[in-house]
Amino acid sequence: MRSPVKTRSHAVLFRIPVRGKMWTIKLGRPPRKGAARGAKDIDGLCDYEARTIYIARRADFRATLIHEVLHATYPDLDESAIAAGEESIVAALDRLG
Ligand SMILES: [Zn+2]
């Protein structure tokens, strides 16, 4: 039996193109669906069906945005590859100040 879905407010921040399709970036608690089902407090979620990226308010916004955009762009990559990409991009951007 499914528990009732609690409605939460998400602020739409902006929309970006990912591989030729527009995706929506939302700020707020990511829904528990897909790979995140059963997970506790997650920082972000890439919802491929809705073409929406959720970023938790408590998350490191930049790192989480990079991570989730990588998921959206390369859906076949596993978590460790995505995490490695995130780490390198964040390190490079940190050098820029
Ligand atoms: Zn991930």
Q: Does 92 have pLDDT greater than 70?
A: yes
Cα of 41 vs centre of ligand 1, distance in Å, is 13
Cα of 1 vs centre of ligand 1, distance in Å, is 28
User: What is the C-alpha to C-alpha distance for residues 70 and 86, in angstroms, rounded to an integer?
Assistant: 8
Cα of 79 vs centre of ligand 1, distance in Å, is 5
Q: What is the pLDDT of residues 40-76, one digit of tens each?
A: 789 999 999 999 999 999 999 999 999 999 999 999 9
Q: What is the pLDDT of residues 76-87, one digit of tens each?
A: 999 999 999 999
Cα of 52 vs centre of ligand 1, distance in Å, is 14
Q: 32-67 burial string, b = 16+ CB within 10 Å, else e? A: eeeebeeeeebbbbbbeeeebbbbbeebebebbbbb
Q: What is the pLDDT of residue 33?
A: 77
Q: Does 4 have pLDDT greater than 70?
A: no
pTM, two decimals, is: 0.86
Q: Where along the chain do its domains lie?
A: 11-96
